[in-house]
Amino acid sequence: MQTGQSTKIVLEARELIIGYQQRVICGPLDLQVSAGDGVGIIGANGSGKSTLVRTILGHLSPVQGTVEFLGLPVNEDSLAFRQHVAVQITDGAFFEELTVAEHLELVARGHNLNSWKQSVSEELEFFELQQVAGLLPSELSSGQRRKVLLAATLIRPAQLMILDEPEQRLDLRIRQKLYDRLAVLRGSGTTLLVVTHDPQMLRHCLNHAFLLNEDQGEALHSEAGAQWLER
């Protein structure tokens, strides 16, 4: 799969076979994503969507094949990767002793945002978290925890943003705000790779879909991907 017309390739997978402990789930897959592209990863339950994302991130070793970020093998411990890749793929990535606001402050200051106080305030407002800013993760609902994780991802600069079903447990109003914001990020050059089950996300803020189907990957336009999800 090759997306976009930009000459800057942000993410590329070649002959990638994914799985656990040499048990093949899907592949071989070819994926090439350019700067400013938005790619939705879609497919039936168990088709390998989350496994593909975790392999791209280096959390899982490929059974076969390679993954490169900006022309270099993926290394989640490298400075360039940590600086330029923002990730939301789990519901449990919290420091239980930090409040909501302190989580966002940690990320903002860790990425050297000049106006970190303002950035934290803006994220709290965007995700309607002002009333729980002083609470600990254990005191939040599952929807509020999802909002905090998304806020911590979006508050930082990134060339590549990887999200795993970000629409889950968000009400329709927040979903629409999120989709608008992701569309703006794409317009500014950020590349998006998003596992999703929501056809509206594909239509609104992504321009391609990558369908995992029968152990293979199929490149689709976002509208065709949305129609597949609606079947």
Residue appearing with tokens 């009400």: 171
pTM of the model: 0.91
124-181 pLDDT, tens digit each: 999 999 999 999 999 999 899 999 999 999 999 999 999 999 999 999 999 999 999 9
> Which residue intervals of the chain are DSSP H helices?
49-56, 79-84, 100-110, 116-126, 142-154, 172-187, 199-205, 222-229
Tokens of 124: 């709290």
What residues are paired with 195 via a beta bridge? 41, 164
If you write DSSP's letter for every residue of 40-92 in order, what string do you get? EEEESTTSSHHHHHHHHTTSS--SEEEEEETTEE--TTSHHHHHHEEEE--S-
131-141 pLDDT, tens digit each: 999 999 999 99
